[in-house]
């Protein structure tokens, strides 16, 4: 069985173009064209996001004050005031006019505002020129800009699992190691 209509023999008065146009119009009448096509990209919902999908960013605006807890897998940008713990599998950015009071766990922490609390675990911490940290810091690496302020102890560059020693040298607020 053919999916298109067989060309009909015509009299010699019809031109070949007319026959050809009839033949071209026939594929539009195929059953596949009448039924809606199911998208090939349809998938069932998954529990984990795909690695290639970029993480979204949430923003706490400058005129907002929130008290509570932030947890999730995206990036967080705080431009207002937040009191509570932040635990994200993404980046945390504290804007110049922002104030955060609480402990922080994030992949990358950028401080341009004020953080009062400990950074318990981070891959990288960046303390910008306008940034101030009052609390202890534990990170894989640390960048400190001239003019920034910190009061507390900093521990960075150590891999606890690799060295098996929990007694690390830390830099205190007075500049002496302990």
User: How many domains does the chain divide into?
Assistant: 1
Is the pLDDT reported for residue 19 higher than 50? no
User: Would you state the pLDDT for residue 43?
Assistant: 41
DSSP bridge pairs for 60: 78
Spatial distance between the Cα atoms of 100 and 81, rounded to a whole number of angstroms: 6
Decide if 174 is inside a domain. Answer: no
Decide if 134 is inside a domain. Answer: yes
User: Would you state the pLDDT for residue 28?
Assistant: 47
Is the pLDDT reported for residue 176 higher than 90? no
Decide if 154 is inside a domain. Answer: yes
As a whole number, mean pLDDT of residues 95-109 equals 97
Decide if 171 is inside a domain. Answer: no
| Model confidence, pTM | 0.62
The per-type count for the chain, helices as H runs and strands as E runs, is 3, 14
DSSP bridge pairs for 115: 100, 133
Question: What are the contacts of 72-79 at 24+ separation with CB within 8 A?
Answer: 73/49, 76/106, 78/113
Decide if 105 is inside a domain. Answer: yes
Is the pLDDT reported for residue 171 higher than 70? no
The residue range of the domain holding 148 is 57-160
């Amino acid at each position: 069985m053919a999916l298109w209509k067989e060309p009909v023999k015509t009299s010699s008065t019809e031109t070949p173009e007319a026959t050809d146009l009839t033949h071209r119009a026939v594929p539009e009448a195929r059953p596949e064209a009448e039924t809606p096509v199911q998208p090939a990209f349809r998938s069932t919902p998954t529990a984990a996001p795909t690695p290639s999908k970029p993480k979204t960013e949430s923003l706490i605006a400058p005129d907002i004050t929130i008290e509570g807890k932030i947890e999730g897998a995206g990036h967080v940008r705080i431009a207002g005031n937040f009191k509570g713990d932040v635990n994200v599998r993404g980046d945390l950015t504290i804007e110049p006019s922002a104030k955060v009071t609480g402990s922080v766990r994030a992949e990358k922490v950028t401080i341009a505002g004020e953080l009062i609390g400990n950074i318990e675990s981070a891959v990288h911490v960046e303390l910008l020129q306008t940034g101030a940290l009052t609390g202890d810091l534990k990170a894989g690496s640390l960048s400190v800009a001239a003019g920034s302020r910190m009061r507390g102890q900093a521990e960075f560059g150590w891999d606890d699992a690799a060295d098996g020693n929990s007694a690390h040298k830390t830099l205190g607020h007075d500049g002496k190691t302990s």
